[in-house]
Amino acid sequence: MKKKLLSAVLAAAMVASTMFASVPVQAEGEVEEITWMFWDDLQATEDLVSLGYADVIDRFNTEYEGQYHVTPITTNLEEYDGKLNALIAAGQTPDVYICNPGPNMDVYVEAGAAMDLTDIMNNEEADWYATFTDGIFDSLTYDGKIMGVPTCFAAACVYYNTKMFDEVGVEVPTTYDELLDVCQKLQDAGYTPISCSAGTAWCLSMIAGYLCDRQGADLDAIAAHEANWTDDVFVQAATKLQELSQYFQPTAAGDSNDQATAAFYNQEAAMLVQGSWAIGQMNGANEEIEDICGVFQFPAIEGANDPNRMIVKTDNLLVSSTTEHKDAAIALLKMFTDETAQKYMAEVGGKFPIIKDVDIDYEVAPKQLSYVQDIMSQATGNFGFYNESLDSVEAGDCFDNAMVDVFLGNKTPEEACQAVQDFYEANVWK
């Protein structure tokens, strides 16, 4: 019997050792192998931006065959941070990885997981640096050091159904009061004026962010504790959100992001506040929408802030501070920001180039894109998504949640602002 046991143990050990042996040896010959980490699978995805990135990876591996090779590490969005943290903690930081701007990026920069690219951009690769749009590095610069490279950016606008507007006989609103009026008329005519999602909190928060900014909120002052969340601007903005929310579709409280967008492209709702990435999704799902979809800038609040500021968001790549293949990583970054990649982003992905002089073919690109482009050329300033502009990821969620509570009627605007204020007092301003 003992023998039997022993043989079982031995068999187990043998299985174990073959497993070990089957781990392939990675580096082979001269090829420099790097990894790139991303938050979507490159094959199964329907996301047009992700597909564009997949194309960049293919081009890179073809062009640098025999010299460099990049292997993507992909997760889904929800598990991305967890996996990236584990890899960094284990000293296996991917050579290049994608990251949201704002507090999320702060974490990696502060942990020393991102390489300082200032020197490279200013000296070795000054020509490349010169191709970028002015000011695009602002959100990626920490104490004067460039810590990441953008690959594209998206802008948030209001999309509207021109057919419905014509039918009801309303014009594009330029002020908040006009917006309310338009909503009322659309509603009287039996349409859902605005499609929004509170199930996906950032969608609601995007409208809240616009309202806060139009009202004149100053996030820098908040960060420095020169302003309070209980100030009138925020209470006013939250009150307007509440007011506007009566024009949302009845199921807005539970609808997800996808559903809210679908309500717009299925022509159930007249307006949608969304990032420009939704363009590709809309047109892909319903061909008719391209011809009847107009775009306008989020309306102004009279007597308050500059109405030409836009919400924008960049996708950024950081390079590992511990990479042994800096040249390969930089070559990859260049591939992401070359004209082919940038053209694709604009013409297909619905995101905007971060380099100057891209020859976008507006015949090919979705029509909405040029409308957004027009609005952008008028823009006088940018600000980020509110949940990515506050002092920590948690603070961003706290703001989003407070706005959802206002929408659901669980809190008055004053109470909601107080909740964010309380969070800041306990966690941020110490």
Partner 1 sequence: MNKKNVRTKKPLSPVIIVIYVFLALLAVLYLAPLLWMLSVSLKDNPDLMAAPFALPAALHWNNYQEAWELGRLGAALFNSVFVCGVTLIVSLFFGAMAAFAIARMRWKLSEATQTFFLIGMMVPVHCILIPLFVRFAHLGLTNSRFGLMLPYITFSLPMTIFLMTGFFKSIPAELFESAAIDGCGIYRCFFEIALPLARTGFFVSGLMTFINNWNELLLAMVFISDPARKTLPVTLTYFVGPYATNYVQMFAAIIIAIAPTVVVYCLFSNQIVEGLTTGAVKG
Partner 2 sequence: MDKILRNKKAIFIFIAPALLMFVVILVIPMFQMIYYSFCDYAALTPPKFVGWKNYQQLFFKDSTFQIAIKNSMFFMIFSAVTQQIMGLLLAVFLTNIPKGRNVFKNIYYLPCVLSSAALGLLWAFMFNPRIGINQLLAKFGIEGPLWLMDSKGFIVLPMWVIAFVALWQYVGQNMMLYMAQITGISRDVYEASYIDGASKAKAFRYITLPLVKPMMITSLSLNCIGSLKFFDLVYNMTQGGPNHRTEVLATELYAEGFNYFKYGYASAISVILLVLCLIVTLLVKKVIKVETYEG
> Is 90 a binder of partner 2 (CB under 8 A)?
no
- The rounded distance, in Å, linking the Cα atoms of 96 and 94 is 5
SS (H, E, C) 17-52: HHHHHCCCCCCCCCCEEEEEEECCCCCCCCCHHHHH
> Is 19 a binder of partner 1 (CB under 8 A)?
yes
Spatial CA neighbour of 209 closest among 78, 100, 309, 296: 309
Spatial CA neighbour of 280 closest among 377, 349, 192: 349
Spatial CA neighbour of 333 closest among 156, 80, 140, 172: 140
Nearest distance, CB of residue 5 and partner 1, angstroms:
6
Selected from 192, 249, 281, 314, the binder of partner 1 by CB under 8 A is 281
Nearest distance, CB of residue 254 and partner 2, angstroms:
4
Nearest distance, CB of residue 162 and partner 1, angstroms:
21
Residue 306 φ/ψ, nearest 5 degrees: -50, 120
Identity of the residue, 7 or 256, whose beta carbon is nearer to partner 2 in the bound complex: 256
- The rounded distance, in Å, linking the Cα atoms of 304 and 302 is 5
Q: Give the Cβ contact number of residue 293 at 10 Å.
A: 24
Q: Pattern of binders to partner 2 over 91-110, x per CB under 8 A?
A: ----------------xx-x
CB 262 within 8 Å of CB 285: yes
* Tokens at 310, concatenated: 């836009």
Tell me how far apart the terminal alpha carbons of the chain are, to the nearest angstrom: 68
> Is 58 a binder of partner 1 (CB under 8 A)?
no
Selected from 153, 160, 277, 352, the binder of partner 1 by CB under 8 A is 277
> Is 14 a binder of partner 1 (CB under 8 A)?
no
Q: Pattern of binders to partner 2 over 410-429, x per CB under 8 A?
A: x---------------x---
Residue 417's Cα: distance from chain center in Å?
25
CB 88 within 8 Å of CB 113: yes
> Is 213 a binder of partner 2 (CB under 8 A)?
no
Residue 126 binding partner per list partner 2, partner 1, none, with a CB distance cut-off of 5 to 8 Å that depends on partner kind? none
Residue 46 binding partner per list partner 1, partner 2, none, with a CB distance cut-off of 5 to 8 Å that depends on partner kind? partner 1
> Is 179 a binder of partner 2 (CB under 8 A)?
no
* Residues in region 244-263 near partner 2 by CB under 8 A: 250-251, 253-256, 259, 263
Residue 285 binding partner per list partner 2, partner 1, none, with a CB distance cut-off of 5 to 8 Å that depends on partner kind? partner 1
Stretch that binds partner 2, among 117-125, 166-174, 286-294, 404-412 (CB under 8 A): 404-412
Selected from 7, 76, 122, 322, the binder of partner 1 by CB under 8 A is 76
The CA-based dihedral angle spanning residues 401, 407, 412, 413, taken in that order and rounded to the nearest 10 degrees? 70
Cite the beta strand spans of 226-298 per DSSP E. 269-275, 293-296
Selected from 10, 16, 89, 130, the binder of partner 2 by CB under 8 A is 89
Nearest distance, CB of residue 44 and partner 2, angstroms:
15
Binding footprint of partner 2 on the chain (CB under 8 A): 5, 9, 81-82, 85, 88-89, 107-108, 110-111, 113, 198-199, 201, 250-251, 253-256, 259, 263, 392-394, 397, 401-402, 404-405, 408, 410, 426
